[in-house]
Amino acid sequence: MLQVQFLRDNKERVLEGLHKRNFKQTELVGEAVSVDDERKKLQFQLDQNLAEMNTISKEIGLLMREGKKEEAEAAKSKTSEFKENAQDLQQKLKAAEARLLEILYLIPNIPYEKVVAGNGADDNEIIYQSHDVEGLGEGAIPHWELAKKYNIIDFELGVKIAGAGFPVYLGKGARLQRALVQYFLDKNVDAGYMEVNPPHVVNEASGYGTGQLPDKEGQMYFINEDNLYLIPTAEVPVTNIYRDVILDEKDLPIKNTAFSQCYRREAGSYGAHVRGLNRLHQFEKVEIVRIEKPENSYAALEGMVEHVKSILVDLELPFRILRLCGGDTGFAAAMTYDFEVWSAAQEMWLEVSSVSNFETFQANRLKCRYKGDGKTQLVHTLNGSAMALPRIMAALLENNQTENGIKLPAKVAEYAKFDLIN
């Protein structure tokens, strides 16, 4: 969430940033400032009213001590009027504060200066590609057919148990999933990230803290009886560890990693691009989260990009890195890099990781600050996938299929304790 003072002081920059995002409701910026002006006016009137009440209360006490009961009673009647006025002002102030918050929740983050304007995926910038890519040629089959051929993932059984988008991993498929999770966690821990095992459900405050609510409410599974949400990513519970916390400067940076199941309704998703493992309602992912001083956050973002890049190099998968344009950047992010791997049998790129800097957008919602040099200020938060399992699995199966089975890359085989699926 952007601070209203930032909107007030940087209106031109804000409107330019919203234009980069192709955001249409730019009138919200002026409305937020206007409502904040009204909030300040009401607060001033309330403070004056309370000060008058306090003065009169002191006068009443003095009059009573002096035996001037009639004057004291007259003063008391004035107090009643001030009390009624104070209650009215408090109600109006509460309504103005709620309206201001409601408006601020609707305004997305302002893109970083390097982010270009654009409407969607076609306008993203390719900043790195590891290999020239091509299909596997005649006879290559997609991962959902390979999964059935080698009995390692059963999509139909998942439909029976839960519905579409909930596959069942079997035998070497289940072992390969577990091996990849362990490798990703080890890689992250070796890079200085502390492992965290968080809850897989969060409360409403946590959803608002990281920006999933109200923006993505329709994409989250909701447990009505308990007012809890199944997490769409471990980013949500891990980042909320630091909600309402004032950190010491010496504690920064904070680097966490976590494995979790992820749950996404993916409402409205259909078509060939969602077949097999391409888009699921439940999947496994390992996440990295960083809490940084503002002046260090973009260097940290580039470090996270290099870290994810090193994982994909180990997996021996063709991949590319994109810097997202304004129109494709997530609501809460200031800048995002997407990683895509090449699916050789499908002959298409599959997103497997997003690495983002949110600057103070999440921290302002979370009230996550740090104290240094005698002052307290908001931190910057960052997160990224390292890695999401389904499409990594899809690419591993498709890109490594041979006449004799699926030959796993050396690093994967080291963790899986087998090198061939046949």
Least confident of 50-59, 117-126, 409-418: 50-59
Query: String of b and e for 376-386 (b: at least 16 CB within 10 Å)?
Result: eebbbbbbbbb
Q: Is 97 annotated as a binding residue?
A: no
Q: What percent of the chain has pLDDT over 70?
A: 97
How large is the average pLDDT for residues 265-286?
79
Domains of the chain: 4-106 (1.10.287.40), 121-421 (3.30.930.10)
Q: Distance (Å, rounded) from C-alpha 188 to C-alpha 256? A: 9
Q: Is 383 annotated as a binding residue?
A: yes
CB atoms within 10 A of CB 51: 11
The token pair that represents 30 in the structure block: 């002026």
Q: Is 352 annotated as a binding residue?
A: yes
pLDDT value of position 358 = 98
Q: What percent of the chain has pLDDT over 90?
A: 83
Q: Which comes out higher in pLDDT, residue 54 or 341?
A: 341
Q: Is 266 annotated as a binding residue?
A: yes
Q: Is 34 annotated as a binding residue?
A: no
Q: What is the pLDDT of residues 293-313, one digit of tens each?
A: 999 999 999 999 999 999 999
pLDDT value of position 270 = 47
The strand pairing partners of 168, in sequence order, are: 154
pLDDT value of position 128 = 97
Burial status of residue 148 (CB atoms within 10 A of its CB: 0-12, 13-18, 19 or more): middle
Q: Is 264 annotated as a binding residue?
A: yes
Q: What is the pLDDT of residues 370-406, one digit of tens each?
A: 998 889 999 999 999 999 999 999 999 999 999 999 9
When pLDDT is cut at 50, 70 and 90, the band that residue 273 belongs to is: low
Torsion angle in degrees (nearest 10) through CA of 301, 306, 307, 308:
90
Q: What is the pLDDT of residues 42-89, one digit of tens each?
A: 999 999 988 888 888 787 777 777 777 777 767 677 777 888 889 999
Q: Is 233 annotated as a binding residue?
A: yes
Average pLDDT, the chain: 93
Residue type present at position 250 = K
